[in-house]
């Protein structure tokens, strides 16, 4: 579609035509004819600027993690004998860092390809709109545009930090933790091979090792770990401190993602409760499908909840059964949520608290903003430190295992102990 961009030009041209026919001056007629030639040529250049043009783009992934790079490959090809003097190509999107556009020209039967790269620094669901191509004439009188392809949705999951030495708290339930004693049962967890012994089943022979060594080797198995992990992520707005990667929201999401990933790798069933804009409960399940559900949920949540943590615990703890483990990720200093956790141990349920100390996060935010020396900020920090100290004493009183996670520290350094 060709659009005239300069309305004042149309008004001036109309006035010139009226003046030329009113006065009959040759010079005015010359200007009229010159203007018609320029406008006609500009219109034709714009009109045929997008004809016989093939364009397309493709992205390297539709699901990614924070810290990865999105690559978009663009290709434009002209099947026309006429050159394309000016083409502006870009992809509108909701990405934090927009995909860069490019202005190019194509010769007769020309082709151009290039790759645009943008870092993915924030989790969430983002929209990439169809490819937009725009052209015009050298004088800027007319403009033509076209939309190519379809839009797509890009899901950016939270960064997955490895916590290789993290272990779930042991509870009195068979299969809740790995055992060094091998089982005679056949399970999905094949751990090692050993020489054949009389009585070993034919289906336990490990043929690759047998072929490699020339001796019959059989597989050994671990008991399948069946203890479920229930993660409760507190996203109440009043409890959140800081912003960006150094805020309690992002650190809490990374903690939940890392623990869920580790538990799923250990073949555990994982459940997740978040108290964002509304309380969301993801029932226990295991395997790659559950991993995708957990990451999808964690990519979308934000610290905008109105439900206190104690309400989520009172509603969710009855769902836990013997042998499970509850992991609470919170920065709340309200003392009421600790007492419900004390009822879990008599029921044979393990419990851990991942404590995002709001005083530490508030001090980090004040240092980043340069307001650490202001009296009002110092008073607020002192108040937060007092509340955090009281909270630590109360958690210790009920003997609940706690890990304190500060901002800017690798999770593997603090989630082990």
Q: Are residues 253 and 399 in the same domain?
A: yes
Mean of the per-residue pLDDT values of the chain? 83
204: containing domain: 190-221
pLDDT band of 177, cuts 50, 70, 90: very low
Give all strands (DSSP E) within 276-342, no chain letters: 279-285, 325-330
Residue 255 covered by a domain: yes
The residue among 282, 294, 409 whose CA lies nearest residue 354 is 409
Residue 5 confidence (pLDDT): 52
pLDDT tens digits for 142-173?
788 888 888 899 999 999 988 887 777 655 44
Stated pTM of the model? 0.75
Mind giving me the DSSP string for 171-227? Answer: -SSTTSS--SSPBSS--S-EEEEEE--TT--GGGB-HHHHHHHSS-EEEEEPPPP--
Question: Is the domain of 205 the same as that of 68?
Answer: no
Quick one: pLDDT band at residue 180, thresholds 50, 70, 90? very low
Report the percent of the chain where pLDDT is more than 90.
Answer: 24
* Whether pLDDT at 371 is above 50: yes
Q: Is residue 1 part of a domain?
A: no
Comparing 297 with 180, the larger pLDDT belongs to 297
Residue 74 phi/psi, 5-degree rounding, is: -115, 145
Indicate the range of 180-189, 283-292, 353-362, 400-409 predicted with least confidence.
Answer: 180-189
Q: Based on the fold, state whether residues 287 and 196 are members of the same structural domain.
A: no
What one-character DSSP code corresponds to residue 58? E
pLDDT in tens, 65-83: 999 999 999 999 988 888 8
Residue 211 lies in a domain: yes
* Residue 103 belongs to some domain of the structure: yes
- Whether 360 and 263 map to the same domain: the answer is yes
């Amino acid at each position: 579609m060709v659009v005239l961009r300069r309305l004042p030009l149309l008004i001036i041209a109309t006035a010139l035509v009226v003046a030329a026919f009113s006065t009959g001056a040759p010079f005015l007629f010359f200007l009229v004819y010159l203007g018609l030639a320029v406008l006609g040529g500009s219109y034709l250049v714009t009109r045929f600027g997008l004809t016989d043009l093939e364009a397309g783009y493709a992205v390297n992934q539709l699901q990614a993690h924070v810290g990865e790079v999105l690559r978009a490959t663009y290709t434009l090809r002209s099947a026309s004998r006429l050159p394309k003097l000016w083409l502006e190509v870009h992809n509108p999107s909701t990405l934090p860092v927009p995909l860069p556009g490019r202005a190019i020209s194509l010769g007769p039967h020309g082709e151009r390809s290039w790759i645009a790269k943008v870092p993915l620094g924030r989790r969430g669901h983002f929209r990439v709109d169809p490819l937009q191509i725009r052209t015009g004439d050298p004088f800027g009188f007319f403009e033509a545009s076209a939309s190519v392809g379809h839009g797509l949705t890009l899901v950016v999951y939270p960064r997955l930090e490895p916590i290789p030495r993290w272990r779930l708290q042991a509870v009195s339930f068979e299969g809740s933790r790995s055992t060094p004693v091998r089982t005679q049962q056949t399970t999905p967890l094949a751990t090692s091979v050993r020489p054949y012994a009389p009585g070993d089943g034919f289906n336990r022979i490990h043929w690759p090792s047998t072929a490699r060594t020339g001796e019959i080797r059989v597989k050994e198995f671990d008991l399948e770990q069946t203890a479920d992990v229930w993660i409760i992520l507190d996203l109440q707005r009043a409890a959140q401190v800081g912003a960006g990667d150094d805020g309690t929201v992002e650190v809490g999401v990374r903690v939940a993602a890392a623990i869920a990933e580790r538990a799923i790798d250990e073949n555990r069933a994982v459940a997740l409760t978040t108290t964002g804009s509304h309380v969301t409960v993801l029932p226990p399940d295991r395997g790659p499908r559950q991993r995708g559900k957990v990451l999808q949920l964690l990519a979308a949540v934000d610290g905008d909840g109105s439900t206190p943590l104690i309400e989520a615990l009172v509603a969710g703890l009855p769902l836990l059964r013997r042998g499970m483990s509850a992991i609470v990720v919170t920065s709340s200093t309200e003392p009421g949520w600790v007492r419900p956790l004390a009822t879990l141990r008599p029921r044979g349920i393990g419990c851990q608290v991942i404590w995002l100390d709001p005083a530490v996060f508030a001090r980090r935010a004040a240092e980043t903003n340069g307001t650490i020396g202001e009296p009002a900020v110092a008073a607020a920090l002192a108040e937060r430190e007092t509340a955090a100290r009281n909270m630590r004493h109360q958690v210790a009183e009920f003997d609940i295992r706690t890990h304190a996670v500060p901002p800017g520290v690798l999770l593997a350094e603090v989630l082990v102990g």
